[in-house]
């Protein structure tokens, strides 16, 4: 009795009873059968070896489908574990999931793997592929599976199985002498795994818990074809070229020194960029009705006890003592702003009060977590606190979103992820207050038509927060901007204002930052533009390049004129050929190069070259100057 199945193009195919996904693929064509990895039935992936049933709607999955690619990677993770078990029989397997762009597998071994071990493991993987071992699904009751793993000494696997409810049927996959717990599906044969590469090793806690054993993790990637693997390796290499730590050195922007771990020294060029960022934000503060304050770096621990930081954040704070009085270096501006708010008596007419502060912050970060400019121990934020009434939260939030997106448009950041982080376990305040705060944020977002995800339990201890994330060159997500509702600090500092009816009320505090940490933003920005800053940020906006020393006087005049007009020229009077000067300026990613020879000196013109557009021809100096000024003023990117 033949059965019929429907393909995605709605064509119907007859197959003999008991036919499998493999048979279906074969009936369509040998090339498809070769590429086939699994089938998808009703949106669920299934093994090729499983029989198809009459009336099913079936799609054949290959490495071209995102789902097929994940499966390929998952099977490659198993392949990795298989190879490791062959080479290191004592290794115990942990878990081996698919991640963005690849996979990893965790192992418990006496001696952690090092990068040198990878080629041998990879060679063994290729051997298993060449052997063309069949991969088969096996199902058994949960208790039997647990017993099986225990008897084989695979205690980590047994632990996972035992966390599954009793009575369930467990599926596993066998390839030759290797057996692994897995939901599946998997490729039908190891020969399907043709293109993969092991990338790195790292330590990782079992089940991600610091209290558990440290396992040895191997990261790898896999694609349908070797070409795609090569392209991926190429992309990783390009990302490394854009790494802000490398560019920071090459462009002379900042440096790090052992004397101050994880604390950047901004060089003159980096400082120009940094200050331009601050100047831009200040300009917007003026437009959006903010006031700026300057508050102390070091304050009595009493303040931090009042704010709750001493209790909740002391591990990340620096302390100092003078005249037997204990002080803390500020890790945040908010308590200082509460002190400022309490300085005067406020009316509802004063609200909202938007208090900005570019104060330097110090936070002790555990060694091992710091990273270039993106995770440092001293930084400053484009920080501000909005003191407002409860019914002003939504409008303040809306205004902030406008401000935020205006800034991000200026920098040309396209992909911004927005997430709402909700109450963490360690927190201040009652559940009612948290309900109110989380609700206000979510509502404001929804009314703005903003799509956002939830990060349950990731909120600050004093309130929920909205986080804006962008990705760096290596696609790592970084939090930059944020907005946080805070009912706690006004309470702790007993802040109040007089309402219209003469009664006193507690203001709500909104903590918010657009760029977040300027240091971190700087790092992300460098990677975003590959070091080629837009003209308004570029430390050197125009390199003045005389061809011969006969024209040095005119070249000097050109540089002086630009400088007098508020621009940032750099005069290169080194005894070098113009080719060398151009190359240098290109490598420094200077937006404009002004080549000056006898002809230009004679005519009072400059020969303009743009770092990416190339030779723009000869222009009168004033024409170029006005164009550059306009470009800078508009903050074009």
Residue corresponding to tokens 């058994």: 140
Regarding 251 and contact with RNA (CB under 7 A), the answer is no
User: Does residue 53 belong to the site contacting RNA (CB under 7 A)?
Assistant: no
Check: CB of residue 142 under 8 Å from CB of residue 157: no
Residues in a beta bridge with 45: 40
Of 150 and 267, the one with the shorter C-beta distance to RNA is 267
Peptide bond into 185 cis (omega under 30): yes
Whose Cβ is closer to RNA: residue 313's or residue 405's?
Answer: 313
CB of 541 to RNA, least distance (A): 16
Helix (H) or strand (E) holding 599: helix 598-603
Q: Is 114 in the site for RNA (CB under 7 A)?
A: yes
Return the range that interacts with RNA (CB under 7 A); candidates 47-55, 194-202, 352-360, 401-409: 194-202
Q: Is residue 313 a contact residue for RNA (CB under 7 A)?
A: yes
The most distant pair of C-alpha atoms in the chain lies apart, rounded to whole Å, by 96
Q: Scanning residues 214 to 233, which ones bind RNA (CB under 7 A)?
A: 214, 216-217
Shortest CB 163 distance to RNA, Å: 17
Does 100 contact RNA by CB under 7 A? Answer: no
Q: Looking at 21-113, list the stretches that DSSP marks H as alpha helix, in order from N- to C-terminal side.
A: 21-28, 30-35, 66-87
CA–CA distance, 35 with 485 (Å, rounded to integer):
52
Task: Find the binder of RNA among 64, 127, 176, 200 (CB under 7 A).
Answer: 200
Q: Closer to RNA at the Cβ: 81 or 460?
A: 460
Q: CA 248 to CA 253: how far, in whole Å? A: 5
Minimum distance, C-beta of residue 488 to RNA, in the bound complex (Å): 10
208 near RNA, rule: CB under 7 A: yes
- CB count, 10 Å around CB of 242? 17
Residue 625's contacts (CB-CB under 8 Å, 6 or more residues apart) are: 561, 562, 565, 567
- How many of the other CB atoms lie within 10 Å of CB of 142? 16
Q: Residue 2 or residue 208: which is nearer to RNA going by CB?
A: 208
Identify the residue whose tokens are 């460098």. Answer: 526
SS3 26: helix
Q: Which two tokens stand for residue 587?
A: 């490598």
Give residues 487-546 in contact with RNA (rule: CB under 7 A).
none
The CA distance from 38 to 505, in Å, is 64
Rounded distance, CA 339 to CA 490, Å? 10
Polymer length in residues for the chain: 637
Which of the residues 173 through 192 are near RNA (CB under 7 A)? none
Which residue lies nearer to RNA by CB, 135 or 460?
Answer: 460
288 binds RNA (CB under 7 A): no
The residue among 175 and 517 lying less far from RNA, judged by its C-beta, is 517
112 interacts with RNA by CB under 7 A: yes
Q: Is 348 in the site for RNA (CB under 7 A)?
A: no
Which span sits near RNA by CB under 7 A: 52-60, 158-166, 248-256, 442-450?
Answer: 248-256
What is the footprint of RNA within residues 565-594 (CB under 7 A)?
Answer: 574-580, 582-583, 586-587, 593
User: How far is 134 from 271, CA to CA, in rounded Å?
Assistant: 61
Pairwise CA distance, residues 140 & 127, whole Å: 29
Binds RNA (CB under 7 A): choice among 87, 155, 474, 636? 474
Q: Does 115 bind RNA (CB under 7 A)?
A: yes
In degrees and rounded to multiples of 5, residue 386 shows phi and psi of -105, 110
Q: How far is CA 362 from CA 34, 310, 312, 452, 517, in A?
A: 58, 14, 16, 30, 11
User: In terms of CB distance, is 172 or 463 closer to RNA?
Assistant: 463
- Phi and psi at 45, nearest 5°, equal -75, 145
Give 351 or 489: the residue with its C-beta nearer to RNA.
489
Question: In the stretch 454-473, what mask flags binding to RNA with x, by CB under 7 A?
Answer: ----x-xxx--x--------
Burial 428-440 (b: 16+ CB within 10 A, else e): bbeeebbebbbeb
Question: To 10 degrees, what angle do helices 142-151 and 155-162 make?
Answer: 160
Among residue numbers 377 through 416, which ones bind RNA (CB under 7 A)?
A: none
Least Cβ distance, residue 230 to RNA (angstroms): 20
In whole angstroms, how close is the CB of 394 to RNA at the nearest point?
Answer: 22
CB of 450 to RNA, least distance (A): 20
Structure tokens given for 62: 């290959």
- Pairing relation of β-strands 178-181 and 319-322? unpaired
Q: Which of residues 592-611 bind RNA (CB under 7 A)?
A: 593, 595-600, 607, 609
Least distance CB 209 / RNA (angstroms) = 6
Nearer to RNA, 107 or 223 (CB): 107
Residue 277 vs 332, nearer CB to RNA: 332
**Spatial distance between the Cα atoms of 520 and 337, rounded to a whole number of angstroms:** 23
Give min distance, CB of 379 to RNA, in A: 11
The single residue among 71, 145, 193, 201 that binds RNA, judged by CB under 7 A, is 201
Instruction: Give dist(CA 332, CA 309) in Å, integer.
Output: 9
Q: What is the DSSP letter of 213?
A: P
The binding track of 57-96 with respect to RNA, each residue x by CB under 7 A or -, is: ----------------------------------------
Q: Which is nearer to RNA, 83 or 547 (CB)?
A: 547
What is the nearest approach in angstroms of RNA to the Cβ of residue 484? 7
- Site for RNA contains 108 (CB under 7 A): no
For 404, residues 6+ apart whose C-beta sits below 8 A from its C-beta are 468, 481, 514
209 binds RNA (CB under 7 A): yes
Find tokens 């597998």 and name the residue. Answer: 105
User: What amino acid positions are annotated as catalytic residues?
Assistant: 334, 363, 381, 383, 385, 465, 511
Minimum gap (Å) between residue 153 Cβ and RNA: 21
Minimum Å gap between C-beta 580 and RNA is: 3
Among 28, 33, 126, 205, binds RNA (CB under 7 A): 205
Tell me which residues in 536-555 interact with RNA (CB under 7 A).
547-550
Is 20 a binding residue for RNA by CB under 7 A? The answer is no
The CA-based dihedral angle spanning residues 620, 621, 623, 628, taken in that order and rounded to the nearest 10 degrees:
150
Residues between 291 and 310 with contacts to RNA, criterion CB under 7 A: 308-309
Per rule CB under 7 A, count of chain residues that contact RNA: 75
Report the C-alpha gap between 540 and 285 in whole angstroms: 26
């Amino acid at each position: 009795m033949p059965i019929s199945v429907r393909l995605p193009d709605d064509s119907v195919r007859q197959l003999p009873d008991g036919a499998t996904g493999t048979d279906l693929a074969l009936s369509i064509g040998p090339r498809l059968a070769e590429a086939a990895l699994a089938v998808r039935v009703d949106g669920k992936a299934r093994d090729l070896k499983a029989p198809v049933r009459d009336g099913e709607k079936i799609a054949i999955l290959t490495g071209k489908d995102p789902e097929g690619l994940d499966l390929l990677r998952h099977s490659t993770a198993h392949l990795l574990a298989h190879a490791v078990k062959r080479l290191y029989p004592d290794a115990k397997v942990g878990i081996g999931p698919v991640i963005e762009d690849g996979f990893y597998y965790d192992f418990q071994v006496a001696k952690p793997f090092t990068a040198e071990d990878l080629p041998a493991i990879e060679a063994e993987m290729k051997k298993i592929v060449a052997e063309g071992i069949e991969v088969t699904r096996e199902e058994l009751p949960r208790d039997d599976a647990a017993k099986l793993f225990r008897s084989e000494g695979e205690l980590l696997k047994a632990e996972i199985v035992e966390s599954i409810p009793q009575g369930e049927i467990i599926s596993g996959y066998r390839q030759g002498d290797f057996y692994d717990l897995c939901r599946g599906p998997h490729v039908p044969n190891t020969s399907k795994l043709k293109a993969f590469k092991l990338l790195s090793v790292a330590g990782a806690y079992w089940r991600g818990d610091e209290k558990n054993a440290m396992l040895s993790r191997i990261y790898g990637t896999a694609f349908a074809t070797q070409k795609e693997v090569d392209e991926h390796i190429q992309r990783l290499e390009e990302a490394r070229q854009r790494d802000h730590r490398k560019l920071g050195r090459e462009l002379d922007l900042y440096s790090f020194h052992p004397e101050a771990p994880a604390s950047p020294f901004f060089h003159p060029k980096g400082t120009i960029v940094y200050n331009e960022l601050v100047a831009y934000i200040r300009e917007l503060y003026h437009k959006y009705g903010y006031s700026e304050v300057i508050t102390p770096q070091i304050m009595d621990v009493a303040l931090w006890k009042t704010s709750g930081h001493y209790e909740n954040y002391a591990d990340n704070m620096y302390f100092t003592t003078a005249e037997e009085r204990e002080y803390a270096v500020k890790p945040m501006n908010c308590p200082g702003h509460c002190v400022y708010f309490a300085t005067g008596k406020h009316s509802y007419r004063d609200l909202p009060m938007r208090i900005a502060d570019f104060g330097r912050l110090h936070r002790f970060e555990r060694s091992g977590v710091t990273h270039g400019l993106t995770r440092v121990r001293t930084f400053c934020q484009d920080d501000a606190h909005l003191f407002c009434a409860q019914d002003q939260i939504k409008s303040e939030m809306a205004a902030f979103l406008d401000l935020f997106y205006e800034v991000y448009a200026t920098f040309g950041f396209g992909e911004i992820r927005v997430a709402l982080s909700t109450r963490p376990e360690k927190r201040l305040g009652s559940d009612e207050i948290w309900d109110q705060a989380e609700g206000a944020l979510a509502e404001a977002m929804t009314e703005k038509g903003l799509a956002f995800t939830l990060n349950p339990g990731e909120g600050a201890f004093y309130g929920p927060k909205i986080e804006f994330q962008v990705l760096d060159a290596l696609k790592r997500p970084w939090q930059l901007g944020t907005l946080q509702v805070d009912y706690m600090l006004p309470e702790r500092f007993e802040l109040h204002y007089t309402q219209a009816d003469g009664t006193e009320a507690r203001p709500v505090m909104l903590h918010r930052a657009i760029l977040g940490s300027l240091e971190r933003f700087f790092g992300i920005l460098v990677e975003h533009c590959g070091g080629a800053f837009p003209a308004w940020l570029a430390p050197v906006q125009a390199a003045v390049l005389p061809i011969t020393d006969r024209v040095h006087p005119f070249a000097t005049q050109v540089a002086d004129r630009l400088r007098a007009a508020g621009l940032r020229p750099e005069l290169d009077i080194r005894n070098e050929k113009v080719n060398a000067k151009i190359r240098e300026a290109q490598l420094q990613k200077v937006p404009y190069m002004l080549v000056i020879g006898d002809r230009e000196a004679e005519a009072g013109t400059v020969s303009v070259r743009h770092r990416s557009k190339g030779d723009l021809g000869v222009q009168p100096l004033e024409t170029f100057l006005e164009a550059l000024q306009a470009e800078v003023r508009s903050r074009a990117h």
